[in-house]
Amino acid sequence: MLNKLPIISIKELSYTYPNSTEALRNVNMNIYESELIGIMGKNGAGKTTLIRTLNGLIQPTKGSIFINGEIIKNKSIATLSKEVGIIFQNPSHQLFANSVEEEIKFSLKSLNLNKEELNFRVDKILKDFNLEKYRKRSPLNLSGGESKKLALASIICRDPKILVFDEPTLGQDAKEINMFINLIKNERKKGKTIIIITHNVEFAFEYIPRIILMTEGQIIADGPTSKVLNNEILIEKTSLILPQTRQFVMKLKESGFPDLDNLISKNQIIDYLMKFIRKEKTFIKGI
Amino acid sequence: MSLEFLNAFKFMKKETLLHKLDPRVKLLFAIIYSICALLFTEIIPLLIIFLSLIPLVLIGRLLKQWIKSIYGLSFLMIFIIILNTLFLSLTFAIAMILRIIIMVSSFSLFFLTVDPNDLALSLISMKIPYEFAFSFSLAFRFVPTIAKEAQNIIDAQQSRGYEMQKRGFVNQIKNLFPLLIPLIICSIRRAFNVAEALESRAFGSKKERSYYFTIKYSLKDWIFTIYLLLFLISFITIRFFFNNMPEFFMWSLPV
């Protein structure tokens, strides 16, 4: 991975809001093609500000951002949005058209597609997202989960290389989260780079391989999820909680179970416990 | 596009003479200045009214926010200049700009210096029913929230290729729909949520209310009220006897 050129390269990025709040301070990071990364940290850590700089919604006060090796400074939001699709938390902030179909067409309008291509893409995305039955329905009459799906569809239909999700699991039920997990798996298969802002530790621990932790506008950790999220000091600094597996391992440690240091995933813990139970059984039989 | 200029209407706590004035005086100030601005279509009297605002801005230490509020009007000002110059005259266009600046500035000074809680109290003291006073102060308090929401909507739409600047007047109007519809829907939903939250806390269950804080009209409030009344009377007089006024009052641009 290190031999490849990063698809996103952020160098010494700083941003101060007009009211003098320093939202980002000297942020440096590289993100590689088809990578799936999570950005975590407490509220006000600068996560959303950071993603807003990626498609030019915010112009950094200092530093630079390179996408595909090109500096984005002089590019318009309309141009950058073809490369970076940001899906914001609240779907009702973008739905306005008369029908679900029109909503998708609005997103595709700026791509200057011919009629056939436009209709093809609309049909495909409605089918992919199981929204065909709502084609003629007003987006304002959709349920929360369906609105979220439509908001996702309206960005993904533009086929950006980089997808950025702001709190995608917030307020979602288990079925909707599963749908989202399948979606990111499919998009990764297509070679998309995915960035997810989340507070959901369990979701991040299970599905995201690399985590960036932020606090007070700075990156304090960047590495494999199992290492970052199992680090108690880092977790404490970012007001997160340890993953349930780690908490369970700590409880086992307190109860005197030996050799627990290398246990990270659910499966490793299950294997460890199974071995332990088998041993105990043999011991009892022996008696 | 940034809606940062809406912060020019957000209350900022400061220890200045203007901030310490009773909210009722400041409401009177905004109304009187707006009335005076509406009395004239000539540059000089409007310019005098405009200049009389500057000392108040300086007393309130609000120069930066005031400039921001005027800057926020730049699009509207360009629009007024073009339309009025084309169909009427440049003098009239400038007068209209001054009129708008005065009206926006006076209300901007009101919003910047009045705490929403004090506003509700002052309206109640003016015998306005509590429900109305509360609704008004609530609406006032929601200005920054709506501004933030509008900014989020702009960001969300721009993220899917929406372009703010489009050529042609009709296109520019059409272009507002993707912003206005979500903003109106979100505002209505919020209003329902707030109403439900208030009802669940027994809002309006008792007719008689008591208040922890009370507001009183002090000497400085009376002095400012007298100044405002004199100001209004002077400009009404100028309006009535405008034809007898010195010639420079009627000055207009040669074009």
Beta-carbon separation of B161 and A52 below 8 A: no
Is residue A176 located within the same domain as residue A272? Answer: no
Is residue A139 located within the same domain as residue A264? Answer: no
Q: What does the pLDDT read at residue B66?
A: 85
| Least CB–CB distance from B159: residue in A18, A55, A111 | A55
Strands A193-197 and A62-67 come out as: unpaired
Give the domain range for residue A163: 8-231
Residues 139-168, chain A, touching B (beta carbon < 8 A):
140, 154-155, 158
Sort out which chain A residues have CB atoms less than 8 A from B185's CB and list them. 92, 96, 140
Is residue A186 located within the same domain as residue A284? Answer: no
- On whether residue B121 sits in a domain, the answer given is no
Instruction: Report yes or no: A82 at the B interface, CB cutoff 8 Å.
Output: yes
Query: Which has more pLDDT, B46 or A5?
Result: B46
Residue B232 CB neighbours (<10 A): 17
Q: Which residue is it, tokens 């609530």? A: B138
CA nearest neighbour of A27 among A43, A37, A16: A16
Q: Which of B12, B159, B181 to mutate to test the interface with A (most CBs of A within 10 A)?
A: B159
Nearest-CA distance from A219 to chain B in Å?
Answer: 24
Sort out which chain B residues have CB atoms less than 8 A from A95's CB and list them. 182
3-class DSSP assignment, residue B216: coil
Sort out which chain B residues have CB atoms less than 8 A from A107's CB and list them. 160-161
pTM (predicted TM-score): 0.78
Give the domain range for residue B250: 1-114+217-255
Is residue A203 located within the same domain as residue A123? Answer: yes
**Number of structural domains, chain B?**
2
Give per-residue pLDDT as tens, A128-165: 999 999 999 999 899 888 899 999 999 999 999 999 99
Beta-carbon separation of B159 and A140 below 8 A: no
Question: Could you give the CA distance from residue A226 to residue B126 in angstroms, rounded to a whole number?
Answer: 63
- On whether residue A238 sits in a domain, the answer given is no
Share of chain A above pLDDT 90, in %: 64
Q: What does the pLDDT read at residue A228?
A: 93
Checking if the pLDDT of A286 tops 70, the result is no
User: Can you read off the two tokens belonging to residue B113?
Assistant: 């210096």
The ipTM estimated for the assembled molecules is 0.83
- On whether residue B86 sits in a domain, the answer given is yes
- On whether residue B122 sits in a domain, the answer given is no
CATH of the domain at A82: 3.40.50.300
Is residue A160 located within the same domain as residue A248? Answer: no
- On whether residue A158 sits in a domain, the answer given is yes
- On whether residue B124 sits in a domain, the answer given is no
Q: What does the pLDDT read at residue B186?
A: 93
Beta bridge partners of A214: A41, A219
Q: Which chain B residues touch A if contact means CB-CB below 8 Å?
A: 4, 7, 149, 152-153, 155-163, 177-178, 181-182, 185-186, 189
Is residue B99 located within the same domain as residue B31? Answer: yes
Is residue B223 located within the same domain as residue B150? Answer: no
- On whether residue A2 sits in a domain, the answer given is no
- On whether residue A236 sits in a domain, the answer given is no
Give per-residue pLDDT as tens, B104-113: 999 989 988 9
**Number of structural domains, chain A?**
2
Checking if the pLDDT of B115 tops 80, the result is yes
Is residue A224 located within the same domain as residue A249? Answer: no
Instruction: Report yes or no: A106 at the B interface, CB cutoff 8 Å.
Output: yes
Is residue A277 located within the same domain as residue A189? Answer: no
- On whether residue B123 sits in a domain, the answer given is no
Give per-residue pLDDT as tens, A57-74: 999 999 999 999 999 988
Checking if the pLDDT of B124 tops 80, the result is yes
Query: Which has more pLDDT, B10 or B138?
Result: B138
CA nearest neighbour of B120 among B13, B215, B11: B215
Instruction: Report yes or no: A196 at the B interface, CB cutoff 8 Å.
Output: no
Question: Could you give the CA distance from residue B141 to residue B135 in angstroms, rounded to a whole number?
Answer: 10
Is residue A250 located within the same domain as residue A134? Answer: no
Beta-carbon separation of B158 and A85 below 8 A: no
Is residue A56 located within the same domain as residue A150? Answer: yes
Q: What does the pLDDT read at residue B140?
A: 81
Q: What does the pLDDT read at residue A233?
A: 92
Provide mean pLDDT across the span A267-284: 83
Provide mean pLDDT across the span A204-215: 94
| Least CB–CB distance from A81: residue in B159, B181, B182 | B159
Q: What does the pLDDT read at residue B234?
A: 94
Is residue B25 located within the same domain as residue B109? Answer: yes
Checking if the pLDDT of B166 tops 70, the result is no
Checking if the pLDDT of B80 tops 60, the result is yes
Checking if the pLDDT of B8 tops 90, the result is no
What CA dihedral angle connects A114, A118, A120 and A125, to 10 degrees?
160
Q: Which of A88, A93, A102 to mutate to test the interface with B (most CBs of B within 10 A)?
A: A93
Q: Which of A51, A94, A142 to mutate to test the interface with B (most CBs of B within 10 A)?
A: A94
As a three-state string, the secondary structure of chain A is: CCCCCCCEEEEEEEEECCCCCEEEEEEEEEECCCCEEEEEECCCCCHHHHHHHHCCCCCCCEEEEEECCEECCCCCHHHHCCCEEEECCCHHHCCCCCCHHHHHHHHHHCCCCCHHHHHHHHHHHHHHCCCHHHCCCCHHHCCHHHHHHHHHHHHHCCCCCEEEEECCCCCCCHHHHHHHHHHHHHHHHCCCEEEEECCCHHHHHHHCCEEEEEECCEEEEEEEHHHHCCCHHHHHHCCCCCCHHHHHHHHHHHCCCCCCCCCCCHHHHHHHHHHHHHHHHHHHHHC
Query: Which has more pLDDT, B54 or B141?
Result: B54
